[in-house]
């Protein structure tokens, strides 16, 4: 994101005395530019100019030669006397002794010294230290060490010498503050620019916004340049596009200005290098630095070609199938036919790509240290084309960042001219006045005016803006505002640098932010009154709470699963749960699917807890599973900004996976701590079924349990759970029981780990909407016990059902209190003992009534399951 050096900003807008990075950042926040960072002074402490008085070269054992120097760092910093143990070279004078490994300086040179207490970028704090047999009382610095990069040209290599290279033309005295001299005290604000405001990727744009925020006078730097004027005879350029993206031509304007006779060795001025560095760019050469500088200043990306390498005409076109280009970063890149390229007539084919438009130039026509004639390109490219190319080639360059957000289409001739002038100013040569300004017809297009009722902002924002606030805000951002003809609405024409202003609401936002969001009052709206939570919402809450109250811990698990899960959970070959939604770009390649059962992702969470030291586990989750529809059915994507047809909406919903909400729990190990009250029972199949009952009861539903073989459960210890809806239909809602021992072993769970998974929505749907009251008779209770001997295969629920049917109305409750197998009841048999409570709503039950009920019960159990009353 753009970095704004304060002194550069101050060139375009008046900063108040005492403005700091913090105050500027705060002002920019108020108009919508978030502060990303504040880069304070890069160097702090005593960084001073020093004069090398004496120098002794001392060869070292490691083959290096070091310089032992006596340096005058000014009266304020010099030591009066040498250390008697470690005298400095030459005659004793006030100075400091410093070791330096570089050799591009001689006695008498002024150098930059970081004295102890200085903190260089890194941060790298400087202290006196013993090295090569001396105490070095500071450090003589290079450009890189003070954070100015590697520098430009031979002269800037190695140690900085005042008057040469980086500090060419500069004079100084020993003891002078070098932080100011090198511009290292400069504060920089880095801001975040939202994608709609590309113009703020320039000092020009940010200065304008700072002026909006503070009212400080702003001078548009684009207004001080006389734009290059296109004419005949310039380098020929052809704009062709046989594959526009989303109907937009790739290039609508191409300005080319040539500068001839530039001194290839001329460096860019120090102030420019400093500003580029502060803005986060590396100084490279005069021509490159100028193009970058003008881009940072005005917002128009530029590109420079070496005229000698380029064979006219220039053609802007889409890339050919299979075309290659070596970009400036020396990487060969396979171009895509959707890439917009700049091509010339050079190369073997006479049709060669020399750059990916708006993204990065090519190596073949790159400017070099030999370039004397240079062609500057300033073009207008389609934002989407550029964005796609930048993404395709993973090249988010400074140019592409600006083009994809939109660049003021009036800038190309201004920026090209400005760059050409700067090159001539610092590198000599002259501007070829035959300038190319190739445009598509109708471009640059004038922004379309927007009809804007004067109260439009008030109606949306809730502030009664004055007419002056409305008009003033719009004019401030550069709109022209006229009185419309018909209905008194204003006719607002946005400035060319604001392509984001297209509709009324866009203008409302401008007024709101310039007048200030802080003026918006706070009013709580009164909704017309809702219906509260839905039954499903209440039911899900109740189910969660029921399991938590029963001692389970609610956890989360991510929905992605590996394909291997189906086998790990012992699903059969044809199990429909093997058909899962697959992600195109999963987070990890080994988990490409979305769960089709909640236990698929919950069992690993149980495992994680055991791995972290839990000795038992009792966890649950309530979340969606994703059950795909028939393969091959995609969801249509209707047009934006209009309600799709009912048919399209139905097609969308038909394509989406079914996504029922499931409640699942895993229970393994001891159900509680061993204690003075005895050992806790291990969690088991019965607990899983009990919890399913409790969860169901919490939603108001009742479940029926029956034996079922269903992975991942134990074939003999798993239950199917059904509900009976109000319509009387029996519906499967889930399973509970002990997990299959193979699954338990594979996942490393405690023996006999049990689980449940139920479809909560079906459960809740089956619960009666209203619970009907039952009479509470107060006639006396009669208690009867029965023990029936039945075949071992007969489910207890069948015996109970027969008892219920047999006894009829007078049955108050039935409860199985014992199961017994053994010799007394015979091989293959079991005895089930039930406590039955009888009560009539009509009167006291007589002995005769009770006896009759007993007989009905016995007969019913005999008839239903062949049960025999145990004597």
Residue numbering of the annotated binding site for Mg(2+): 500, 506, 509-510
- Can you tell me which of 76, 442, 676, 773 binds another protein, judged by CB under 8 A? 676
Using CB atoms within 10 A of its CB, is residue 381 exposed (0-12), middle (13-18) or buried (19+)? buried
Residues 511/460, Cβ–Cβ less than 8 Å: no
Q: What angle do CA 557, 558, 564 make, to 5 degrees?
A: 100
Nearest-5° angle of CA 284, CA 286, CA 288?
A: 60
| Of 455, 554, 576, 818, the one binding another protein by CB under 8 A | 554
Task: Find the shortest distance in angstroms from Cβ 215 to another protein.
Answer: 17
Buried b (16+ CB within 10 A) or exposed e, 453-484: eeebbbeebebebeeebbbebbebbbbebeee
- Under rule CB under 8 A, residue 486 binds another protein: no
Q: How far is the CB of 558 from another protein (least distance, A)?
A: 5
DSSP-assigned letters across all residues of 16-78: PTT--HHHHHHHHHHTT-EEEEEE--S-BS-EEEEEEEEEEEEE-TTS-EEEEEEEE--TTT-
Asked if 597 contacts 662 with a C-beta cutoff of 8 angstroms, the reply is yes
Q: Is 322 in the site for another protein (CB under 8 A)?
A: no
Q: From the CB of 146, what's the least distance to another protein, in Å?
A: 29
Cβ distance to another protein smaller for residue 62 or 675: 675
| Tokens of residue 8, six digits | 């550069």
Binders of another protein in range 754-813 (CB under 8 A): none
- For 805: left if phi > 0, alpha if psi spans -120 to 50, otherwise beta; the answer is alpha
Check binding of 637 to another protein (CB under 8 A): yes
Dist. CA 696–CA 699, nearest whole Å: 5
593: part of which helix (H) or strand (E)?
strand 593-594
Residue 134 beta carbon to another protein: minimum distance, rounded to whole angstroms: 43
Q: At closest approach, how far in Å is the CB of 577 from another protein?
A: 16
Task: Give the angle 255-260-266 at the CA atoms, nearest 5°.
Answer: 110
Using rule CB under 8 A, residue 527 touches another protein: yes
Residue choice 677, 775, 776, 827 for contact with another protein (CB under 8 A): 677
Q: Is 505 in the site for another protein (CB under 8 A)?
A: yes
Span of 103-111, 150-158, 215-223, 455-463 interacting with another protein by CB under 8 A: 455-463
- Beta bridge partners, 815, equal 835
CB of 640 to another protein, least distance (A): 4
Report CA Rg, the chain.
42
CA atoms within 13 A on the CB side of 715: 4
Q: Is residue 583 within the footprint of another protein (CB under 8 A)?
A: yes
Region of 134-142, 256-264, 666-674, 860-868 interacting with another protein (CB under 8 A): 666-674
> Could you tell me the CA-to-CA distances from 141 to 104, 133, 799, 814 in Å, in that order?
12, 20, 96, 94
| Residue indicated by tokens 């002038």 | 421
Q: Does 461 bind another protein (CB under 8 A)?
A: yes
Decide: is 391 part of the binding site for another protein (CB under 8 A).
yes
**Hey, how many other C-beta atoms are within 10 angstroms of the C-beta on 838?**
22
Binding residues, as ranges, are: 500, 506, 509-510
Q: Residue 326: helix, strand or coil by DSSP?
A: strand
Q: Is 476 in the site for another protein (CB under 8 A)?
A: no
Using CB under 8 A as the binding rule, whether residue 498 contacts another protein is answered as no
What residues between 73 and 102 interact with another protein by CB under 8 A? Answer: none
Closest distance to another protein from the beta carbon of 663 (Å): 12
Nearer to another protein, 311 or 579 (CB): 579
Min CB(523)–another protein separation in Å: 4
Among 270, 113, 121, smallest CA distance to 183 is for: 270
Q: Which of 303, 513, 662, 735 binds another protein (CB under 8 A)?
A: 513
Provide the CB-side half-sphere exposure for 436 (13 A, CA): 24
Q: Which of 518, 573, 630, 827 binds another protein (CB under 8 A)?
A: 518
Restricted to residues 163-222, the positions that interact with another protein (CB under 8 A) are: 194-197
- Provide the minimum distance between the beta carbon of 616 and another protein in the complex, in angstroms, as a whole number: 9
Q: CB-wise, 61 or 459, nearer to another protein?
A: 459
Lookup result for tokens 């604001």:
498
* Whether the Cβ atoms of residue 107 and residue 32 lie closer than 8 Å to each other: no
Closest approach of Cβ 484 to another protein, in Å? Answer: 17
Report which of 667, 675, 715 is spatially closest to residue 692, judged by C-alpha positions.
Answer: 667
Select the span of 285-293, 501-509, 566-574, 822-830 touching another protein (CB under 8 A). 501-509
Please identify which residue in 641, 769, 775, 847 interacts with another protein, judged by CB under 8 A: 641
DSSP reduced 3-state for 633:
coil
Residue 373 in contact with residue 338, Cβ under 8 Å? no
Stretch that binds another protein, among 165-173, 508-516, 739-747, 842-850 (CB under 8 A): 508-516
**With binding defined as CB under 8 A, does residue 582 bind another protein?**
yes
Question: Does residue number 589 form part of the binding site for another protein (CB under 8 A)?
Answer: no
CA distances from 493 to 222, 480, 484 (A): 20, 5, 11
Contact 500, 406 (CB under 8 A): yes
As given in the structure block, the two tokens for residue 165 are 């290279």
Residue 630: which region, alpha, beta or left (left: phi > 0; alpha: psi -120 to 50)?
beta
DSSP calls for 662-683: EEEEEEESBSS--BTTBPPPBP
Query: At closest approach, how far in Å is the CB of 682 from another protein?
Result: 12
Q: The tokens of 369 are what?
A: 């240290």
Burial class (CB in 10 A: 0-12, 13-18, 19+), 526: exposed
Q: Which stretch binds another protein (CB under 8 A): 11-19, 254-262, 282-290, 575-583?
A: 575-583
| By the rule CB under 8 A, 655 interacts with another protein | yes
Candidates 171, 466, 537, 706; binder of another protein (CB under 8 A) is 537
How many residues can be counted in the chain? Answer: 871
Please answer whether residues 748 and 772 qualify as being in contact, where contact means their C-beta atoms are separated by less than 8 angstroms. no
- 150 forms part of the interface with another protein (CB under 8 A): no
Kindly determine how many residues on this chain lie close enough to bind another protein according to the rule CB under 8 A: 106
Q: Candidates 106, 243, 467, 635: give the one binding another protein (CB under 8 A).
A: 635
Cβ distance to another protein smaller for residue 313 or 644? 644
Instruction: Kindly state whether residue 247 participates in binding another protein, applying the rule CB under 8 A.
Output: no
Contact window for another protein (CB under 8 A) among 419-427, 491-499, 670-678, 811-819: 670-678
Give min distance, CB of 474 to another protein, in A.
14
Contact residue for another protein among 346, 657, 741, 795 (CB under 8 A): 657
Listed ranges 27-35, 270-278, 327-335, 471-479: which one lies at the site for another protein (CB under 8 A): 27-35
Among the listed residues 107, 149, 672, 725, the single contact to another protein using CB under 8 A: 672
Site for another protein in 593-632 (CB under 8 A): 594, 605, 608-609, 612, 614, 617-619, 621-624, 626
- Minimum CB separation of residue 469 from another protein in Å reads 15
Of 113-121, 328-336, 460-468, 850-858, the segment contacting another protein by CB under 8 A is 460-468
């Amino acid at each position: 994101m753009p970095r704004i050096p304060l002194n550069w900003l101050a060139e375009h807008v008046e900063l108040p005395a005492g403005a700091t990075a913090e105050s500027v950042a705060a002002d920019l926040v108020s108009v919508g530019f978030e502060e990303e960072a504040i880069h304070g002074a890069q160097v702090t402490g005593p960084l001073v100019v020093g004069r090398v008085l004496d120098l002794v070269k001392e060869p070292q054992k490691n083959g290096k030669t070091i310089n032992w120097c006596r340096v005058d760092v000014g009266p304020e910093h010099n030591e009066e006397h040498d250390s008697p143990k470690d005298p400095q070279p030459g005659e004793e004078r006030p100075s400091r002794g410093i070791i330096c490994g570089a050799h591009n300086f001689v006695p008498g040179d002024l150098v930059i010294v970081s004295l102890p207490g200085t903190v260089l970028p890194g941060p790298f704090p400087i202290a006196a230290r013993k090295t090569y047999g001396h105490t070095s009382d500071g450090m003589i610095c290079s450009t890189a060490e003070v954070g100015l990069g590697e520098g430009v040209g031979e002269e800037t290599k190695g140690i900085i010498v005042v008057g040469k290279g980086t500090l060419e033309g500069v004079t100084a005295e020993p003891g002078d503050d070098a932080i100011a001299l090198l511009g290292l005290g400069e504060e920089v604000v880095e801001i975040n620019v939202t994608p709609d405001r590309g113009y703020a990727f320039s000092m020009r744009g940010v200065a304008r916004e700072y002026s909006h925020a503070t009212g400080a006078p702003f001078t548009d730097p684009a207004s001080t340049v006389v734009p290059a004027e296109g004419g005949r005879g310039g380098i020929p350029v052809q704009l062709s596009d046989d594959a526009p993206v989303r109907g937009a031509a790739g290039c609508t304007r191409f300005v080319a200005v040539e500068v001839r006779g530039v001194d290839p060795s001329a460096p860019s001025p120090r102030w420019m290098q400093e500003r580029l560095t502060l803005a986060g760019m590396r100084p490279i050469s005069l021509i490159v630095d100028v193009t970058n500088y003008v881009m940072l200043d005005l917002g128009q990306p530029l590109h420079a070609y070496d005229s000698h390498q380029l064979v006219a005409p220039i053609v802007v076109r889409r890339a050919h199938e299979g075309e290659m280009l070596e970009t400036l970063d020396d990487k060969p890149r396979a171009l895509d036919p959707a890439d917009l390229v700049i091509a010339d007539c050079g190369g073997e084919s006479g049709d060669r790509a020399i750059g990916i438009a708006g993204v990065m130039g090519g190596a073949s026509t790159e400017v070099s240290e030999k370039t004397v004639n240079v062609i500057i390109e300033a073009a207008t490219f389609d934002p989407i084309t550029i964005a796609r190319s930048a993404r395709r080639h993973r090249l988010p360059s400074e140019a592409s960042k600006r083009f994809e957000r939109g660049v003021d289409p009036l800038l190309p001739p201004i920026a090209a001219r400005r760059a050409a002038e700067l090159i001539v100013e610092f590198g000599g040569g002259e501007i070829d006045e035959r300038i190319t300004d190739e445009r598509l017809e109708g471009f640059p297009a004038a922004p379309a005016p927007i009809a804007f009722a004067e109260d439009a902002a008030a109606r949306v924002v809730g502030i009664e803006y004055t007419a002056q606030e409305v008009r003033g805000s719009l004019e401030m951002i550069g709109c022209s505002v006229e009185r419309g003809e018909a209905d008194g609405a204003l006719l607002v024409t946005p400035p060319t640098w604001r392509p984001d202003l297209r509709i009324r609401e866009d203008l409302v936002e401008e007024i709101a932010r310039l007048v200030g969001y802080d003026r918006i009052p706070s009013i709580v709206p009164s909704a017309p009154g809702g219906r509260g939570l839905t039954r499903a919402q209440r039911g899900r809450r109740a189910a969660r709470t029921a399991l938590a109250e029963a001692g389970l811990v609610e956890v989360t698990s991510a929905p992605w699963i590996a394909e291997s899960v189906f086998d790990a959970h012992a699903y059969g070959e044809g199990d429909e749960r093997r058909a899962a939604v697959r992600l195109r770009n999963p987070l990890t390649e080994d988990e490409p699917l979305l769960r089709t059962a909640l236990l698929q992702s919950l069992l690993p969470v149980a495992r994680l807890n055991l791995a972290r030291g839990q000795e038992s586990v009792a966890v649950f989750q309530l979340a969606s599973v994703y059950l795909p529809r028939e393969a091959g059915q995609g969801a249509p994507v209707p047009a934006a900004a209009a309600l799709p047809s009912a048919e399209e909406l139905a097609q969308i919903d038909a394509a989406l996976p079914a996504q029922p909400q499931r409640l699942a729990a895993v229970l393994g190990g001891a159900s509680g701590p061993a204690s003075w009250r005895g050992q806790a029972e291990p969690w088991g199949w019965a607990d899983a079924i009990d919890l399913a009952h409790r969860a169901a009861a919490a939603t108001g539903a009742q479940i029926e349990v029956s034996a079922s073989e269903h992975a991942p459960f134990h074939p003999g210890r798993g239950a199917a759970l059904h509900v009976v809806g109000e319509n009387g239909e029996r519906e499967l809602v889930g399973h509970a029981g002990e997990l299959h021992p193979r699954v338990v072993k594979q996942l490393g769970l405690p023996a006999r780990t049990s689980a449940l998974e139920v479809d909560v929505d079906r459960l809740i749907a089956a619960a009666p909407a209203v619970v009907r009251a039952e009479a509470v008779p107060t006639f006396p209770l009669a208690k009867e016990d029965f023990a029936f001997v039945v075949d071992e295969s007969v489910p207890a629920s069948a015996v109970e059902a027969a008892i219920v049917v047999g006894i009829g109305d007078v049955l108050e409750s039935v409860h199985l209190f014992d199961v017994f197998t053994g010799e007394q009841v015979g091989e293959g048999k079991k005895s089930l003992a039930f406590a039955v409570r009888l009560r009539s709503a009509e009167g006291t039950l007589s002995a005769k009534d009770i006896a009759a009920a007993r007989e009905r019960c016995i007969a019913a159990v005999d008839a239903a399951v062949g049960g025999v009353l145990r004597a």
